[in-house]
Each structure stands twice: as C-alpha cells, then as structure tokens.
Amino acid sequence: MKNRLYFLVLFLLMSSCAVNKKPILIKVDDVKIVSVTMDTIRLKAAAFFENPNGVGGTISSDKIQIIVKGASIASVYVDEFKVPARASFSVPLMAVIPTKKVFQNNKNGILGGLINSFLNKSIKLRFKGNLKYKVFGFSNTYLIDKIQEIKL
C-alpha cells in the first residue's frame, strides 16, 4: 500500500511539471545597430519565446552566423539565458561585425562598398544557426534563419 502511494505521488509530480512541452519560438526581431565605429558595427537583436512549461530551463547559442552577400562575416553571441516558467520572454542576441568584412564582400572593394552602403544606407543581413533549450536532460534545437535589412 505504501509503495502504491509513493508511486502515485511521484506520478502526479512528474505529470504536473509538463517538461515534455518545448518553448515556442515566436520570432527573431528588433535588430538594431548599437554602435558604429571605423572598425566595427555592433548589433543587438532578440529572439522571442513563449514557455508553456511549469519549469524553466536554459537557452544557449550554437553557431549562429551573420551572412552578408553569401559570406559569413560574424558570429552571434548569446549568454546562457535562464528561461522563466510559464511566461513570454526574449533572449538577447549580440554581434560584433568587422566593417572590413562587410565592405570586402562588395565587388567594388572597400571604397565602392563604403560609397554603395552610404548611398543605399542599408545592409541586408542573414542570421542563420541554432539556439538550444535544455531542462532536466530534455533538449531541443531551434533553427534561426532570418533576413533583416538594417539602416546605417
């Protein structure tokens, strides 16, 4: 009888946590230029999620690249983020892009790239990679593939 009671309590605890549901990736948005210097462009973006679980977890990045005109120019950095239980949240994404790489990808060279970017006043960036969610041995990977045009 005692064993059945322990089993029942354990079963109720395990089923009420609902860890088997994964957080829902809503969108990657809010790409903004934080700063521009002669040698770097600093970007900030956010990945928006909804967590239906009764428990939290962690999200970390797995090789998210920024691609301009088919060439990878930078990596996105994500500090390990603690996921809140039963809440909407956003994960901050940060990147430092060497301006030399942006303008080298232009067929007219650095000077042509500078002139073209300042005339157009925008650059198309593609964010591509994965975010990993982990909780109690359960793991899930989210594919990030977003094209965003940013204004200089």
The domains located in the chain, with CATH, are 21-151 (2.60.40.10)
In angstroms and rounded to an integer, the radius of gyration of the C-alpha atoms of the chain is: 21
Say if residue 1's pLDDT is above 90: no
Rounded to two decimals, what is the model's pTM? 0.69
pLDDT tens figures, 112-148: 555 565 566 677 888 899 989 888 888 888 888 888 8
pLDDT tens figures, 38-77: 888 898 989 899 988 888 889 988 788 988 878 888 888 8
For the chain, how are helix, strand and coil distributed in percent, rounded to 5? 20, 55, 20
Closest CA to 90 of 57, 51, 117: 51
Q: Are 124 and 133 in contact (CB under 8 A)?
A: no
